[in-house]
């Protein structure tokens, strides 16, 4: 019996890792935990899921801007500089809202949403926010969404589809006395580093490119699925 007890003790001691091995495991676990936990959140992303399943973003992230062209030029630089926004097919999309403040009579860009992922065929997508929380501006007119493309400067079929259009397409606002069109803005960082901005007017279905601070119509979306018909002499790049 004595010999059996001694053997059992030796077996238990042999099953315990040496002290040095345990120290290495603890250090590796600490390093891994520190690496995963030290990445700070993106300060430009402020979104929340609403009880009904929609997405709300805070505002404003950028502005005021004098017009939509001024907003697009600045928003393109800002949004395409976010982590993963310009890294090709391994990148990701960011969404935002652009809107008009009646108090300041100026245009603003909301904070970003990074809720999205990969669709069929490897396409990137972000879920468009539909609600805005901007305590600084009590009277705003939301004019539509904006999002980045990490690997393609063109609008996708989903962007231009009649099934996914923003509503209302066009509306009259009594306070400003203006007729407003809803627009989708898409931003793409070219391999050369330049920023390309495009707009899609939901009402007219005209696609425009921002060239030297001015919107230039380059095409039109056709049919239910938004097939693009470029205007004569126009293309996605100058």
- pLDDT above 70 (res 161): yes
Indicate whether 91 and 169 sit together in one domain: yes
Indicate whether 15 and 73 sit together in one domain: no
pLDDT in tens, 52-61: 889 999 999 9
Asked if the structure places residue 42 within a domain, the reply is: no
pLDDT in tens, 3-37: 444 544 443 444 444 445 444 343 333 344 334 44
Q: pLDDT-based confidence at 38, cuts 50/70/90? A: low
Residue 133's domain comprises 47-230
CA distance 170 to 61: 25
Indicate whether 6 and 93 sit together in one domain: no
**Using an 8 Å Cβ cutoff, are 207 and 200 in contact?**
yes
Indicate whether 154 and 209 sit together in one domain: yes
Mean pLDDT across the stretch 81-106?
Answer: 95
Asked if the structure places residue 92 within a domain, the reply is: yes
Instruction: Output the pTM of the full model.
Output: 0.82
Indicate whether 161 and 92 sit together in one domain: yes
pLDDT score recorded for residue 119: 60
Asked if the structure places residue 238 within a domain, the reply is: no
Indicate whether 25 and 53 sit together in one domain: no
- pLDDT above 60 (res 160): yes
pLDDT score recorded for residue 40: 85
Number of structural domains in the chain? 2
């Amino acid at each position: 019996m004595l010999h059996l007890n001694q053997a059992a003790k030796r077996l238990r001691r042999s099953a315990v890792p040496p002290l040095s091995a345990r120290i290495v495991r603890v250090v590796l676990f600490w390093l891994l935990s520190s690496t995963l936990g030290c990445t700070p959140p993106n300060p430009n992303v402020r979104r929340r899921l609403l009880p009904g399943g929609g997405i709300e973003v805070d505002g404003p992230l950028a502005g005021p801007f004098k017009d939509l062209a001024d907003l697009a030029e600045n928003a393109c630089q800002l949004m395409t500089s976010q982590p993963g926004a310009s890294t090709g097919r391994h990148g990701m999309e960011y969404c935002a809202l652009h809107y008009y403040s009646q108090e300041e009579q100026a245009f603003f860009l909301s904070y970003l949403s990074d809720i999205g992922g990969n669709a069929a065929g490897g396409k990137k997508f972000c879920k468009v926010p539909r609600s805005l929380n901007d305590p600084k501006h009590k009277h705003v007119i939301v004019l539509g969404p904006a999002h980045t493309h990490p690997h393609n400067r063109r609008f996708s079929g989903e962007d231009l589809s009649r099934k996914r259009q923003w509503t209302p397409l066009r509306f009259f606002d009594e306070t400003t006395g203006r007729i407003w069109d809803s627009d989708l803005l898409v931003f793409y960082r070219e391999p050369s580093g330049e920023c390309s901005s495009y707009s899609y007017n939901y009402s007219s279905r005209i696609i425009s490119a921002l060239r030297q601070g001015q919107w230039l119509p380059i095409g039109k979306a056709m049919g239910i699925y938004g097939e693009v018909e470029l205007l004569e002499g126009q293309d996605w790049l100058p």
